[in-house]
Amino acid sequence: MRPAELSDVPRITEIYNDAVRTTVATFDTEPRTVEDRTEWYRGHDAGHPVYVATIDGTVVGWASLSPWSDRKAYEATAEVSVYVEAGYQGRGAGGLLLETLVRAGGEVGHRTLLARIADGNEASLRMHRSKGFALVGVMREVGFKFGKWRDVHLMQLVYPARTPPG
């Protein structure tokens, strides 16, 4: 695990676009360009980092914390995203990436992390539970992908009490 660099954006884009085309891990339905993902990467800051997982120098997965909302009252809440290249799923990279996000979220002062996970993605639900996330609800039929309405599970991790942002 390491912080992502601008030079990682093409691999991040490849991994993400594979998920767009073949999974319900994202509700994007059109692949993104490297230029689009570069803008996305540059939009992240110290409070919303991006990490990559590498094996033998090759990026095999990535994860990020993103603002949950642009409204001020939500500034201590972030959304997690974790994507692992298909051939490397089930080998622990996703769990390590999520652990890294949980640690980073605490270090930068977030109060809450949220995850949206499409129905049927049992591996992701188990992984989030194993890192301290709890199911807080299911949003019924909120996305339409691959010819079917999809439910989304909302999971939450709340850090121990801390002073609210000032």
Q: What is the pLDDT of residues 52-87, one digit of tens each?
A: 999 999 999 999 999 999 999 999 999 999 999 999
CB 109 within 8 A of CB 161: no
Global pTM exceeds 0.75:
yes
127 inside domain:
yes
163 inside domain:
no
82 inside domain:
yes
Looking at residue 160, its pLDDT comes to: 86
Which residue's structure tokens are 């120098």? 57
> What is the domain extent for residue 42?
2-158
Q: Quick count: other Cβ atoms within 10 Å of Cβ 156?
A: 16
pLDDT at position 166 over 70: no
77 inside domain:
yes
53 inside domain:
yes
Number of domains in the chain: 1
pLDDT at position 165 over 80: no
164 inside domain:
no
pLDDT at position 164 over 70: no
The stretch 130-142 carries a mean pLDDT of 97
